[in-house]
Amino acid sequence: MNRRARVGVLAERLAAPRITLTTSYAEGAMLAIARAASARHLLEGFLTTLYWGDELKSRLLVRSLARRRLWGVPAQLVWQCARPTELAYVASKRFGYGRMTASLMYRTQERFDYAVSREVGRRQTDLIVGVNGGAQKTFEVARSQGIRAILHVVNSHPRVHNALLATAGAPAGSHEYVPVRAAERVDAELQLADLVLVPSALVANQLLSQGISQERLAILRYGVDPGLFIATARSRVTARSLRCLYVGQISWGKGIRVLIDAARMLSGFATFSLIGPLVSPEVLGKLPPNVVVSNTVPHLRLRAEYARADVFVLPSIDDAFGLVTLEALSSGLPVVVSSGAGTSELITHGRDGLVVPSGSATALATALRNIADPRLRAELGNAGRALVERGNTWEEYGARVLSTLDSVRRAA
């Protein structure tokens, strides 16, 4: 590179925004942004709670905490805040979800936000990106210092979420409901943010209904690593019964009650494997014999589960996006997704997958009967993999976010 080119690169870096990211957990989209910003030398820092670098050696720790390693983010740019409360939260999840776990989650977000807010003034940064529920104090300090605040929204709006849970039949005392104090924090963050990043039009429309202006919203859909979830050859002949796979929380919000009702309708026709953390045990009720529930599994085993299944099912009542849909599509597995999941917006019904009305067990059962056709499954599986490959990877997501953030800074 000659001197003029080097000067040009330096000038470009100086003109580019310096970005600080804050998240109390290793959220996939934030990691993708961090990797993209780091690659372009824009990452000022990544503030999080628990982090283990390459020194992680214990097999027990690897199994329980490996997902908290920030792959692709330079260790010298990672700062840890509010570790004790997060450790308590992680420990509580090992004994099952409940009121205590939910309470610790919200407490961790608050403690993390407070700790990060004290760090903001010590950093040279132009933009700070925080996750909803854990950025109110941070944004208050950022705004006072002329730093642009970007809210990364990963969930539905709390009031909309609570209303949808009630419609789904979740009992009034369920810990899936967002408490008032946590909802008020999100409202404050939305008001403080210069820009709000959302993963789907579903969430954007919710925020519009809550008074957030269109000008402050940017819809940037998440991605997937197509090298991790690989399409495999599938038999065009179905076994004795259709093998249906669900991956995600076992909860009211994910539509598990609807899925179980559909499974009863398909007794003798289809079997259902549900994999994920048991968030609300009461949602299972009396399981029909064609439904098996398993706990969360590592990605390598999950890849095998995608390869073994005939169809992936996501019956969400309230789901801002649903990354598992992209994992299934990347695996070449045909998908049936409800309109309550943000990923339904990616799918053209009948071409890339099937979309059914949220909350309808009958519609879900009908779609699964239709997708039993091996030719249709093969067509949808191939189209789904192609959908992922044309613009829905994490690398492309990170690039889109950086472009959006650069526009925000230039408009300041």
Q: Where are the domains of the chain?
A: 3-223+393-411, 242-389
**For residue 108, what pLDDT is reported?**
87
**Centroid of chain to Cα 168:** 21
**For residue 411, what pLDDT is reported?**
66
Q: Is there a common fold for 3-223+393-411 and 242-389?
A: yes
**Centroid of chain to Cα 52:** 21
| Long-range Cβ contacts of 395-398 (<8 Å, 24+ apart) | 395/32, 395/36, 395/223, 396/223, 397/29, 397/32, 397/33, 397/220, 397/221, 397/222, 397/223, 398/32, 398/33, 398/35, 398/36, 398/37, 398/223
Q: What is the pLDDT of residues 179-189, one digit of tens each?
A: 999 999 999 99
**For residue 2, what pLDDT is reported?**
54
Q: What is the DSSP letter of 123?
A: S
- Structure tokens given for 66: 């490996």
**Centroid of chain to Cα 115:** 24
- Domain 3-223+393-411 belongs in CATH node 1.20.1260.10: no
- Look at the domain 242-389 and name its fold: Rossmann fold (3.40.50)
In terms of Cα–Cα distance, which of 17, 90, 82, 16 is closest to 47? 82
Q: What DSSP string runs through 325-364?
A: HHHHHHTT--EEEETTBGGGGG--BTTTBEEE-TT-HHHH
Interatomic CA distance for residues 73 and 71, integer angstroms = 6
Contact 200, 338 (CB under 8 A): no
Which regions in the chain score pLDDT beneath 50?
5-14, 52-68, 236-237
**For residue 290, what pLDDT is reported?**
97
Does residue 193 come out as left (phi exceeding 0), alpha (psi in the -120 to 50 range) or beta?
A: beta
**For residue 82, what pLDDT is reported?**
61
Q: What is the pLDDT of residues 274-311, one digit of tens each?
A: 999 999 999 998 899 999 999 888 777 888 999 999 99
Interatomic CA distance for residues 300 and 368, integer angstroms = 26
**For residue 239, what pLDDT is reported?**
53
